[in-house]
Every structure is written in C-alpha cells, then in structure tokens.
Structure 1
Amino acid sequence: MLATPPPLIAVIGPVEPPLLTAWVTHYRELGIERFLLAFHFPDHVPTGLRHEPNATVRELGIIPTGCSTGPWHEHINTQLRDALRAAAGPGWHLIADADEFQQYAAPLHEITAHADHTRHKTVGGLLLDRISTSGRMTDWNPAQGLDRTYPLGGHLTHRLLHGDPRKIVLARHDIALASGNHRAPGHHPDPHHLAAVHHFKWRSGILEDLRRRVSHFSSGTWQEHTPAVRDEARRLLTHLNNHGGTINLADPRCAFRRVSLDQLPYNWRSEAHTAHTAWRPPTPTARN
C-alpha cells in the first residue's frame, strides 16, 4: 500500500490563471491530491486580477484556505506558509511557489521513503531557470505550453543574480523553514538527491514586478529582512539594460540548454550536487 501523498503548501500572488491551471495539473500528475493554498495580493493589484486566480483554483476543485491584501512585506509569505503547514497536519509537506514546477528522479512516495530511511527530514531541490530562446520576457500561449515557450534551462538565479538557488521541496511537518523555502535551519537535505525546480519566473510582466520590488523595499514601503531580494532584482534589471532587454544566452556561467518537464536534464545529479554544495551568499563587494 502506497503512502498518502504529501499535501502541497503554497502562498500565491497575482499570477495568470493559465499558469495556475498548468501548475495544479503538473502536481496532480506527480500524485498530489490535497492543496493548501493562500492568496495574498499587494494593494496595486486591481480587484478583477484578485478574483481570477481564486476562481481558477475553485474551478479546479480546490478551495483556498485564505485570501489577504496589503503590502508584500518579506515576512508575509513566511507567516502565511507556516499557517498553512499548521493546518496541513503531521507528515511530509511539499512546498512550492506558483512558478515552480518540481521534477523528481522517482515517484514521490519513493523520494519520501528514501529520506525516511536515511533519516533526512527534508528533501532539497535546485532552481533551474526557464527562459525563451530569445532571452526576452515573453507571453506564453497555454495551447503551446510552458515547455515550448521557455525551452531553455540554466542557472540564472545562481550564477548571474547571486541568489540562493537551493530550495527545500519536501519537509517533515515539524521542521521549520527559512524565508523563501531556501533552508531548514539545522537540517540539511541529501545533496546527492536533489529535485530540479523548473522556475518559470521569467515571463511577461516580471520586469514591472522587479522594479516595484526595488522601489518598495528601498523606500521601506515593503519591509525586508535583508536586501537580498531587491539586490537580485536590481542585478537582473542592470543585466537586461546592458544587453538590449534580453538575457545573455551566451554567458557560459548560466549553462543554458534545452530541457523539459518530461525528463530530468542530462547529468542533473552531479550538476545539482555541485551547485548546491558550492553556493555561498554574495560578499559585500559583490552586493555592491
């Protein structure tokens, strides 16, 4: 008898309904049956754009746990996520943002069973940033799909933005997670068994969001724990400005190549292990 699939925990902002539909479909194909979702919308989001994501998940048979509005302080996501985890109950929890499509080397019940056997209370993943073949932040057509619109995968967050590419994708209910699900203080996932976290963040509309983050975090309109989020946003905006509005696909650091949600990238285990264990926060010189 297979173990009960873990519930999926997610805090969701103003994303387009087709992305939510693709996201729910992806995780249901992984075996997820229970979704605990909370929506939070910053004040600038129009009322209609707040209703659409909520209505979409309801049409998919999911009743959101809550919906709030207001500034997107850095602690908001953490508070909402932890409330959802408390409601989820004991066992394993799968944690994913709405633009993160996790990919595993084995079925979920085998992944959690292996972690239990090796006495790991978390399972890790590594971001694999997905972009278009032009390097531009483009729209996508649901009929075409995410894989075909953003066929290239690489290490944009890690190599170019100096952001933390590590993610905790599965955690036991009693394991606390840091902001952004990047770490579980005191607990380290097995670096030899890391999920690929396909990161479909770099879509049309993201540049406005990044500019807003820089402005609001810099002014104090939105509260932050560290400048990491706005520093990453500023680095991407600077890079795009220096490359005619596109991501430089020729930058060897990012190692962009064609990937797919249907199959783990070639040599992923070694590649992810190297990136996961080598990553360090940027030095003050790099931040400046």
Structure 2
Amino acid sequence: MTPAPPVLVAVIGPVEPALLTAWTAHYRALGITDFRLAFHFPDHTPAPWRDQLLATAAGLGVPPATVSTGPWHEHTNTQLRDTLREQAGPGWHLLADSDELHTYPAPLTEVIAAAETAGRPVVGGLMLDRVAPDGRLAHWQAETGLDRAFPLGGHLTHRLLHGDPRKIVLARSEVSVASGNHRAPGHRPDHGTLACVHHFKWRAGVLDDLRRRVENFTSGAWAEHTPAVRDEAGRLLEHTGRHHGRIDVADPRLGFRRVTLDGPPAGWAAEARTIVTRWRPPAANSHR
C-alpha cells in the first residue's frame, strides 16, 4: 500500500511573502496537502509586515495553527514545532524551516515506503547553502524566482560557520527530534539516500538579523542553551565584513557551483554521504 503524504510541520518567522509563496508552491509540487504552521514574530517586526505575511498565508490556503510574538529564545522554535507535531497526529511528518526547500532522490511516498521497509523511522538530509552569483545578500523578486536569484549551491554552513549541516527531513510522529531538526536521538538516517536541503537563508536583511541575534543572546534578552548559534552568526558577520558585505563564492573550500531545485545536484548521494559521515561538531559545541 502506498504511504500517505507526510504532514508538513514548520515554524515561520518574518520572511518575505514571496518566499512563503515559493516555499508553499514547492512543497505542494512534492505532494504535500496538509500544512501545520506556526508563525512567530520577534518584537521588532513591523506590524504591516506581519499583517501582510499572515494575509499571504491565508490567501495561499495555509493559515497558521498559531501566531505568537515575543523573544526568539533558542527553545522557541522547538516548543512551537513540537506542539504542531502533536496536533498533526500519527504518521510521517516533514520538517522544514521557512528558508529550506527539500529535493529528494525519489517521490516522497517512495522515500517514505523505502524507510518503512528498512525499518527506519527517520529520513535524513544535508544542507546546501544557496547564494547569489556574486555572493551578495541580495533582494529578489517573485518573478525572478529563487533558482535564478540564488543559483549557486555550496557548503557554507559547516565549512565556514562550523554549524551542523545535518537535517532530519522526515520523521514518524513518535520520534523525538532535537533542536534545529539536526538529529533524532537514538535513530540514524540512511546516509545513502540523503535529501538535499536547499538553504535560502543568505538573502537581503540577514546581516541585520544576525547582528540582532548576537546582541540579544549576548545580553540575555533571548535565552540560549549553548553559544553555538551566536558563534555561527559571528563567524558569518566576520566573513562578510572581510569581503565587503558578500560571501566569498570563489573560496574553493565552500564548493559553490550552479544547482537548481529540479532535484538533487549531480553526484549528490556520494557527496552528501561523505560529508555526513566525516562531519563532527566543533569541540566547543560537542555537547550539542
């Protein structure tokens, strides 16, 4: 019997309405029909932006299960996500941030069927950071599209920022998933069939967001469990400061090349398996 499509569970911050529109269309094209969304707006979010984004969600037919405002503590996303998962009920859940668009090596129902046959209650993925051709943190227009605005994909998160590039992209409802959807303690995904998590974080406005994150975590206004998130933000700010506000797409360590959302990049299975197998957290973050 063909498995049912998973329920998509996501916590959405104050992103551009165009990104929410593109994100929703992408997952509908993968077969998602049930979206369980929580919108959370930090206090600095302008009311018109919040209202426009919520109106966009309603117009797309993906109204939020909950809307909240306040500090974005490190635990905020996890708490909201887990509440949504409880509401979503039994079965498979697809876990995606609002700037993450997954591509899979096969249709979603086939990916889930293979995991079930193998007795694995999770499916893993690896982040591929998407950036503009010249590394600018660019504005983009809906008519341009994400692929044309951010055509390069590379490994910025773990090779420069020392962040965890691993993702749990699909999990059965009874499986607990760690903060950031990076791990499912006690469960190991099949490293040979990792989804490509196209990560469209590096857009206009992100530097201000990162500075605010550093300030709020440092001051204690936003609670953190470890300094890892703050440290990653600091590394990106330092890098762009040295490169005139841009990401150095010519740095061979980062492996940027042209990719698209049509599917995983050529050679992805072997590339992703090698990275996940070899990746280790920095010593300072080893307890995460």
Q: Distance in 2 between matches of 1:184 and 1:140?
A: 34
Unaligned runs of 5+ in 2: none
Equivalence for 2:40: 40
TM, length-normalised to structure 2: 0.97
- 1:189, 1:41 → 2: CA distance? 32
How far the C-alpha of 1:285 sits from its partner, in A, is: 10
Amino acid at match of 2:111: I
Deviations 1:22-46 (A, max 9, x none): 0000000000000000001011111
**Counterpart position of 1:156:** 156
- State the distance in 2 between where 1:212 and 1:25 align: 30
| Runs of 4+ residues deviating >4 angstroms | none
Kept in 1: contact 2:2–2:113 (CA 8 A): no
In the TM superposition, residue 53 of structure 1 has moved relative to its aligned partner by 1.5
C-alpha distance in 1 between matches for 2:62 and 2:264: 29
Does residue 87 (structure 1) correspond to residue 79 (structure 2)? The answer is: no
Q: Which residue of 1 aligns with 2:118?
A: 118
Once residues 182 and 149 of structure 2 are traced to their aligned partners in structure 1, the CA distance between those partners, rounded to angstroms, is: 27
Per-residue CA shift, 1:191-235, capped at 9, x if unaligned?
111000000000000000000011100110100011111100000
Partner-residue secondary structure (3-state), 2:254: coil
1:83 Cα shift?
Answer: 0.3
Q: Which residue in the other structure is 2:267 paired with?
A: 267
- Whether 1:281 and 2:281 are equivalent positions in the alignment is yes
2:241 and 2:38 mapped to 1: Cα distance? 35
- C-alpha distance in 2, partners of 1:126/1:101? 11
Measure how far apart 1:130 and its partner are.
Answer: 0.2
Amino acid at match of 2:7: P
Q: 1:285 to 1:30 in 2, by over 3 A?
A: closer
Cα distance change of structure 1 residues 124 and 59 upon mapping to structure 2, 3 Å threshold: same
Compute the displacement of 1:158 (Å): 1.2
Find out whether 1:202 has 2:208 as its counterpart: no
- 1:189 and 1:163 map into 2 onto residues whose CA distance is 19
Query: For 1:253, what is the secondary structure of its paired residue?
Result: helix
Question: Which residue in the other structure is 2:231 paired with?
Answer: 231
Structure 1 position 258, deviation (Å): 0.1
Residue 3 of structure 1 deviates from its aligned partner by: 2.5
Q: Whole-Å Cα distance in 1 between the matches of residues 141 and 50 of structure 2?
A: 21
How far does the alpha carbon of each residue in 1:52-79 deviate from its partner, in whole angstroms, 9 at most, with x for none?
A: 2211111011221000000000111100
Aligned mates of 1:205, 1:3 — CA distance in 2:
40
Which letter does structure 2 place at the counterpart of 1:176? S
User: In 2 relative to 1, CA 284–6 (structure 1 residues): closer, same or farther, beyond 3 Å?
Assistant: closer
Equivalence for 1:63 = 63
Tell me by how many angstroms 1:248 deviates. 1.1
Rounded to whole Å, the distance in 2 between the matches of 1:49 and 1:263 is 32
Counterpart amino acid of residue 133 in structure 2: T
Number of the residue aligned with 2:19: 19
| Distance of 1:263 and 1:285 partners within structure 2 | 32
Q: Which residue of 2 aligns with 1:212?
A: 212
Q: Which moved more, 1:246-255 or 1:104-113?
A: 246-255
Q: Residue by residue, what CA displacement relative to the aligned partner does 1:161-187 show, whole Å, maximum 9, x if unpaired?
A: 000000000000000011000000111
Between the aligned partners of 1:240 and 1:65, the Cα distance in structure 2 is 37
Query: Shift in Å at residue 134 of structure 1?
Result: 0.9
> What is the rounded CA distance, in whole Å, between the counterparts of 1:196 and 1:170 in structure 2?
12
Aligned to 1:187: 187
Mapped to 2, the partners of 1:67 and 1:217 lie a distance apart of 23
2:246 maps to 246
Residue 275 of structure 1 aligns with an amino acid whose one-letter code is I
SS at match of 2:207: helix
Cα distance in 2, alignment partners of residues 196 and 29 from structure 1: 16
Residue 281 of structure 1: CA displacement? 1.0
